[in-house]
Amino acid sequence: MMSMQLAAITLRAMRMRMKAPFTTSFGTEWDKDFILVEVKDKEGRSGWGEAVAMKEPLYNEETVSTVWIMLKKFLIPLIWRQPPGHPRDVAGLFRHIRRNYMAKAAVEGALWDLYAMAENVPLYRALGGERTAIDVGISLGIESSVDRLLANVEKYVAAGYKRIKIKIKPGWDIDVVAAVRQRFPAIQLMADANSAYTLADADRLAALDDYDLMMIEQPLAHDDIIDHAVLQKQVKTPICLDESIHSVEDARKALELDSGRIINIKIGRVGGLTEAKAIHDLCLSRGIPVWCGGMLESGIGRAHNVAITTLAGFTLPGDTAASSRYWEEDLIEPEVTVQDGVIHVPDRPGIGYVPRRDRIDTYTLYSETFRP
Ligand code: OSB
Ligand code: MG
């Protein structure tokens, strides 16, 4: 393909109600607010991306509003100034803009989808993925009682999910993990703290070593790799980094310090598919397992997550649960389904699932279209 002949980019502010609220150490979400990006070429093809920033800056510093402004004022104008010949060039185009990774990833992902559509290949193939079925785990939020959490675990173990992740925070940790482990002695289990602890809690975190967890995800500060390295010396359970890693350089430094032994790759957190793949490649070369995290995405973002998970180094089950775990109706056809803990990767061109414009319109609060 010569170069992408772009005609328009449309941003949509979306709101979808989740089936159930999702609670982490930083807060509870009921309504999922996010941005969809549609890039159109001159031949009328579309590529879709999703910005995973939340309404409030609680997971990272970005929000739905900052993503909108960054795309409108800086990132889309950069695309018009120098239309990329290949989606792998987009990250370079954005490099001088500091951070704002989720904003960058949303339009980069849409361009990857458009490119794959134009080439008539599945996105996962365009990325170099080989696996046609991917293992899936599930992330379960904090509940009002241990019994309620146990009921959730039971439901999703029965549904075949290959690993259960539970959210922890001070006061909802050792007893809860112990209760889940006692009831389900053989499941693959892990805990995600979303930065709720400090090194002063090292003994508490070391006590989790008794429960055969696959990993503890991001126990310490969102911007830390130093204390995590200290903590990793005091706990046997592997630490997995989420919030702290935004680039292949961050990953290299964290691995050099032994700040963690597993990396959760989120496309949005690292600025797009190209950077996500680079982190994957580094980890693969160093024997560090990676898995694909989730941000409660709609089907559009979920499809991108499924595509990247087909790369060889994604050896651990991801947080890419079925559409029906989150939504009464998803934005794609077919929805993402999980059978026996596995998603069968679709072989259609692009993201592999067809966006449903009727539903996308239903959940659009407002939109704006930009032209070169
Ligand atoms: O830390 O992985 C996280 C959801 C929102 C923000 C951060 C995280 C999560 C999840 C849910 O764990 C993963 C999902 O099911 O999409
Ligand atoms: Mg996490």
Positions marked catalytic: 167, 266
Q: Computed from CA positions of residues 251, 255, 256, 259, in that sequence, does the dihedral angle turn out positive or negative?
A: positive
Which has the closest alpha carbon to 311: 265, 243, 258?
265
For the chain, what's the residue count? 372
- Which atom of ligand 1 has the smallest separation from the CA of 29? 5
For residue 326, give the ligand 1 atom closest to its CA: 15
Q: Say if residue 156 is exposed, middle or buried (CB neighbours under 10 Å; 0-12, 13-18, 19+).
A: buried
User: What local confidence, expressed as pLDDT, does residue 103 receive?
Assistant: 99
Pocket probe for ligand 1: among 295, 305, 326, the residue whose CB has the most ligand atoms within 8 Å is 295
Q: 326: closest CA among 279, 367, 294?
A: 294
- Spatial CB neighbours of 26, under 8 Å, sequence gap ≥ 6: 58, 59, 194, 195, 196
| pTM of structure | 0.98
CA distance 100 to 4: 24
Q: Is 29 in the pocket of ligand 1 (CB under 6 A)?
A: no
Q: Ligand 1, from 16, 24, 320, 324: best to mutate by most atoms within 8 Å of Cβ?
A: 24
| Tokens representing residue 156 in the block | 């999703």
pLDDT of the chain, 372 residues: tens digit per residue: 456 899 999 999 999 999 999 999 998 989 999 999 999 999 999 999 999 999 999 999 999 999 999 999 999 999 999 999 999 999 999 999 999 999 999 999 999 999 999 999 999 999 999 999 999 999 999 999 999 999 999 999 999 999 999 999 999 999 999 999 999 999 999 999 999 999 999 999 999 999 999 999 999 999 999 999 999 999 999 999 999 999 999 999 999 999 999 999 999 999 999 999 999 999 999 999 999 999 999 999 999 999 999 999 999 999 999 999 999 999 999 999 999 999 999 999 999 999 999 999 999 999 999 999
Among protein residues, the one whose CA lies closest to atom 8 of ligand 1: 295
Neighbouring residues of 321: CB distance < 8 A, sequence distance ≥ 6: 136, 137, 138, 139, 161, 294, 338
Which ligand 1 atom is the nearest neighbour of the CA of 192?
A: 1
What is residue 101's predicted lDDT score, i.e. its pLDDT?
Answer: 98
pLDDT of residue 1: 47
Atom of ligand 1 nearest to the CA of 294: 16
Please give the distance, rounded to the nearest whole angstrom, from the Cα atom of residue 141 to the centre of ligand 1: 9
CA of 285 relative to ligand 2 center, distance in Å: 23
Q: What is the pLDDT of residue 4?
A: 85
Please give the distance, rounded to the nearest whole angstrom, from the Cα atom of residue 365 to the centre of ligand 1: 24
Cα–Cα distance between 5 and 3 in angstroms, integer? 6
323 lines ligand 1 (CB under 6 A): no
Collapsed DSSP state (helix, strand, coil) of residue 163: coil
Please tell me the number of Cα atoms within 13 Å of 289 on its side-chain side: 11
Token reading at 359 = 């539903």
